[in-house]
Structure formats: structure tokens, C-alpha cells
A and B are shown apart, each in its own frame.
Chain A
Amino acid sequence: MAAETGTPTTLTLKSNDDELFSVAESAAILSVTIRNMVEDGCAGGVIPLDNVDGKTLASVITYMNGISAIPADEEKKKSYRDKFLSDKDFETLADMVLAANYLNMSCLMDAVSAKIAQVMEKKSVGWVRRKFGIENDYTPEEEAAVKEEHKWTFEGVETDDDN
């Protein structure tokens, strides 16, 4: 890691659509992927992040800055995460979970996974297939049989609004 100097070290991150972002090293190393690059001395110039687009990276950096400004207080960090994710739609959350996975940020990964689960909970099977891009590989008979076996679990499913 860089030697302690008067001014904090800044890193430049590049998204896969060529947007450049400046971020304090202390915040950026929340990502294990970035931390490893810094430790290996590969962070001299611009750090290319080939799997993250600019919109998502901007959001992740907002999170990095926000969470690293909070001192070691798990409860405050948790409420920051909850607030940060509260207004995100499914598509944004899906992009973020992929980015968190690529950047190896376990706390963000856990929080986004839990948030996606919360969004999914009352949704229909059809909604899940559409949002996750999953092809229904059951025959109509097979699907009816699986559904019949777990009929009672379909109580309280919301009608699709695709939000």
C-alpha cells in the first residue's frame, strides 16, 4: 500500500464504456479486486474495470465513499446500506450485484443480494423468469405437477406489474 503522506492517495478507475472516475484509495480498496491491484503495484495509472459500466461504477463509488466515511459502527453501516439501496429498481440492483461480485465487495454483495430477494419475495414465477431471463424448460404437464405439489406456496403472490 502507498506510504502515508499528507495528501490521501487517489486512484483513477475506468469503466468498460470508457468513463473515468477519481476515488480515494482508502475507499476504493473496499473492493478486494482493486486492493489486490494496488498491493501488486498495478495501480499506477488508470485501473480498467472491464465488467462494469459507467452508470453502475458511479453508483458503486458513491457507496464506497459513503460507507468508508462511517466509522466502525456496524449498525450505522447497515442503515446506510439500507438507505442506499432503498430506491434502486431491479435492473439497477442486478447490475450492482454483478459489479459487486466482479469487484469482490462482500458487504455490498450481501446487501444487494438480500435486497433483490426482498423485491422477489411476493412476485410470480413468470416475473422471475422475465427479470432473470430464464427460459421455462418445463413441459406444461411437468410445470403443473410441480405447482400442484407446492400449491399452498402460491398464496399471497402479487399480480405482475413488472416494477
Chain B
Amino acid sequence: QTMCEEVKLQFYMPTSMIMTTINTLEIPEEIIEEILLNLPVKTLLKFKCVSKRWRSLISGNYFAKRHFKKSSSTTDKDLTDSTYQNRLTFFKRYQTNFFTVRSYSLRGEPVIDLSTGLDNLYPVRSSAEWGCVVGHFNGVVLITVSVRDVLLSWNPSTRRIKKIPLPSFSWGLLRDFSFGFGYHESTDEYTVVCVDISAYPEPCPAHVYSSKTNSWKKIRDFELGCPGRFSAKFVNGRFHWLLPLKVNGRGYDIVSLDSFEEKYEVVARPRCLDIGRIIVGGILDRYDHRLKLEELGGYLSLVVINVDSLWEVNIWAMMEYGAGESWTKVWTLSDFFDVGRRLICVMPLCLKNNGDIAVAVDSNVVVVCNGKNELCRSRINIVDQVKPVFYDESLVSPFGSDER
């Protein structure tokens, strides 16, 4: 009987009274933190307004790291999961304003219009200015900008940007350098490597920037050949380049740099690097294969195109770092497209350890698949835009001169 009365009473209790009961509910901060870890970046920035305590919690470096680790983890989500906080972002090229940015989910849905963000933060002064994405790590993207000779570290999710100070060594035109963007876990330090390739065939001078010291430092020269203008790919704590064998000029090697140990090494290469004579990028030759080194969701990866039959495109990944036999063919173009098409480009975007892979094909189609099965195909018009950047959203602060 009393139970019935209670239920009735609650049912008719005005909202304001219910509110009073709720206010007595005390959720300890460590539980609040567990809850907030599940929210997307945009919502967390909004909730900085809740209280000073919440702002300081959400702004903290420790929280940002835990949040990124959780949101980018692959354990219970596949790449097509709509709650997955990953973004595919494009820069428009050869327009009056380079920093027009478009952002999509892998399903092809436009996300946020980021252009206002970057426009306000870094207004473009002339049409001659354009930039290249060097790489990204922890949701922070590193961009080089021509004309102004500047490096920008940018978090598109929080719309924060920092300029990296110019190095004191001879800078010159950006096209003479190969850059790489990395991170040193144990010291929590972002690093930028810069190799002066114009010195080739002499040993190429190399410098490393550290976010801890906010300065550049000269390291051992790059002596194993010419790394080319492609940016270095950062995998397993090392920078990687694909370059011709110095000995006979036939075939190619993958060279790694540990910028802390200042050590260059040749990395175990896959069988696909042994197919005949191979050229990197640019020039096409009959019977040859074109190769491109990529960082793919933390794996070192190679796009191999048979120049004789352009539809023969395979993507390989080194599933266990350093183990030559672990190079695996993870994606084949002909499994998803009819042969005989003329191709513009194949751009691997992401590989997850559950086998999910996302690949941009022909400038406007993003195929997401798991192994042999196609999960989704999105149409995104990326013609006339530069290489897409695929990253997981994060709260991580862009590193640079005036923060930290």
C-alpha cells in the first residue's frame, strides 16, 4: 500500500521538486571524467562553459591524451561507425585562398565548415601562398606554407593553430626540403625533421625541431641517398623515406631515421620492391612499377602501381614493424573496381588492426572495406583539392612558440 502511494506521489511531483532531489546527487569527479571521455571534441569545448572545474579538466593535457586514446581506439568500432570521431579533411588548391578547408566523415557526410576557422587564424595574403600537409599526429596537422617560409601546427578539431619558429639554418625555398612530422612518446615531445635535399649528391644536412626546446638542432647528415621531396612517413617512432639503392641504382630501399639516436637504417622491404626496375613517383616507364610510401593508421605502407597496366594497384602494409615477412597485401583495386578504367590516383587513408581499410580512389570516391568486402562507398568531390588528411579528432594542443 505504501509503495503504491509513493509511486503516485512521485508521478504527480512537480518538476521543480524532482530537480531538488537530483541536485543532491553527487557524482565524483573521476566518474565525471570517465563520462566526458566519451564525448566528441566539439561537445567538450562547449562544456568548458559548465564550470571552472570542468574547463580545467577538459583543457588538461592528461585528459586530452586519455580522450584521444579512447576515441581513436578500434576495439569496438569499425570505420563506418557513425559515432567514430575521424575526419577526412581537404585543402583547396590553386584558388585565391589556399586555406579553404572541407571536412567529411568517411561516409561522405560534410562535417564542420572549417574554412572560417583557419581563415581567421591564418589569413592568406596572396594567391601565391599555398601549403603542403607534412603529416599529422594525435589529431594535430603540420603544414608548410610557401612564400612565407613558415610551418603551422594546427588542430582542426579545436581550431587552434601555432606557428613554428623558423630555423636559424639556411632556409631557402621549401621545395628543396623533405619534412617529416613525428612524436616522441617517452618525452611527450613533438618533432619535425627537415632534410636539405638540394645538397645531393653530397650528404644532405638534416635538422630536427623539438617542441620541448622550441628550437632546431642539427643532427647527423642524411648520407644514404636523396630522400626526394615527399614528406617522411612517421611510423613506430621513426621517420621513413623511400629511395633508390645507392649501389647500382636498381631497386629501392626504405630508410628510417631515429631522430633521437640520430641513427639511419634500412628497413626490411616487401617482395613487391623486387619486381623488376622500379621508379618512384613522376616518370612512367613500361614494365615498371610505381611506388609510394605512406603511413597508414600506424603501419608503414606502400602503394604499388603497375605502370604497364594502371588498374593493377595493390596496397601493402608491414603488419609487424621491422619484420620483412609481415608485409601483407591489404587492398587490391580490381577487387572493387572494373579493370580498364583510367586512374587519377589511389590514396590509402586508414588501416585498422581489425582489417578495416579506407582508400580514396580517382579523386572522388572513398571506398571503405574490411578485407574483401565493401562496407561503404562515399562520393566526395575532391577534384582540384590537394591530398586529403585523415585524422582522428583530438583536444591535443598544437605545439609551438606561444603555448606550453
When distances are taken between beta carbons in the complex, the residues of chain B under 8 Å from A109 are: 34
Chain A, 92-147, CB within 8 A of any chain B CB: 94, 97-98, 101, 109-110, 113-114, 116-118, 120-122, 125, 128-138, 143, 146-147
When distances are taken between beta carbons in the complex, the residues of chain A under 8 Å from B116 are: 152
Interface range on chain A (Cβ under 8 Å from partner): 35 or more
Chain A, 5-32, CB within 8 A of any chain B CB: none
**CB of A1 within 8 A of chain B?**
no
Given A114-B38, A153-B43; A146-B25 close (CB under 8 Å): no
When distances are taken between beta carbons in the complex, the residues of chain A under 8 Å from B22 are: 91, 130-131, 133
**CB of B45 within 8 A of chain A?**
yes
Which of B27, B38, B52, B112 is in CB contact (< 8 Å) with A117? B38
When distances are taken between beta carbons in the complex, the residues of chain B under 8 Å from A133 are: 22-26
Q: Are B15 and A162 in contact (CB under 8 A)?
A: yes
Q: Are B50 and A128 in contact (CB under 8 A)?
A: yes
Q: Are B43 and A121 in contact (CB under 8 A)?
A: yes
When distances are taken between beta carbons in the complex, the residues of chain A under 8 Å from B38 are: 113-114, 116-118
CB A104 to nearest CB in B, in angstroms, measures: 13
Closest to A132 in B: B27
**CB of A42 within 8 A of chain B?**
no
**CB of B76 within 8 A of chain A?**
yes
**CB of A150 within 8 A of chain B?**
yes
Whole-angstrom CA separation of A68 from B303 in the bound complex: 46
Closest to A115 in B: B38
Whole-angstrom CA separation of A122 from B23 in the bound complex: 21
Whole-angstrom CA separation of A91 from B27 in the bound complex: 11
CB B333 to nearest CB in A, in angstroms, measures: 30
**CB of A78 within 8 A of chain B?**
yes
Q: Are A146 and B48 in contact (CB under 8 A)?
A: yes
Whole-angstrom CA separation of A52 from B204 in the bound complex: 67
- One digit per residue, 1 when the CB lies within 8 angstroms of any chain A CB and 0 when it does not, for chain B 21-58 equals 01111111001101111111011011111111111000
Q: Are A97 and B27 in contact (CB under 8 A)?
A: yes
CB B11 to nearest CB in A, in angstroms, measures: 14
When distances are taken between beta carbons in the complex, the residues of chain A under 8 Å from B52 are: 137-138
Which of A114, A116, A122, A125 is in CB contact (< 8 Å) with B49? A125
CB B23 to nearest CB in A, in angstroms, measures: 4
Chain B, 130-153, CB within 8 A of any chain A CB: none
**CB of A46 within 8 A of chain B?**
no
**CB of A157 within 8 A of chain B?**
yes
Whole-angstrom CA separation of A122 from B28 in the bound complex: 22
**CB of A84 within 8 A of chain B?**
no
Which of B19, B31, B34, B46 is in CB contact (< 8 Å) with A125? B46
Given A97-B35, A101-B31, A153-B42; A130-B19 close (CB under 8 Å): yes
Whole-angstrom CA separation of A147 from B76 in the bound complex: 34
When distances are taken between beta carbons in the complex, the residues of chain B under 8 Å from A134 are: 50-51, 53-54
CB A119 to nearest CB in B, in angstroms, measures: 10
Which of A94, A113, A118, A147 is in CB contact (< 8 Å) with B25? A94
CB B114 to nearest CB in A, in angstroms, measures: 10
Given A91-B22, A97-B27; A147-B39 close (CB under 8 Å): no
Closest to A131 in B: B22
A-B contacts, 28 listed (Cβ < 8 Å): A97-B27, A98-B31, A109-B34, A110-B34, A113-B35, A117-B37, A118-B38, A120-B39, A120-B43, A125-B49, A125-B50, A128-B47, A130-B19, A132-B25, A133-B23, A133-B26, A134-B53, A135-B51, A136-B51, A137-B51, A137-B53, A143-B49, A150-B45, A152-B112, A153-B45, A154-B46, A157-B46, A162-B19
Known: A101-B31, A130-B22, A153-B43. 6 other contacts (CB 8 A): A113-B37, A117-B35, A120-B39, A121-B40, A125-B47, A131-B22
CB-CB nearest 5 A-B residue pairs? A117-B38, A153-B46, A133-B23, A153-B45, A150-B45
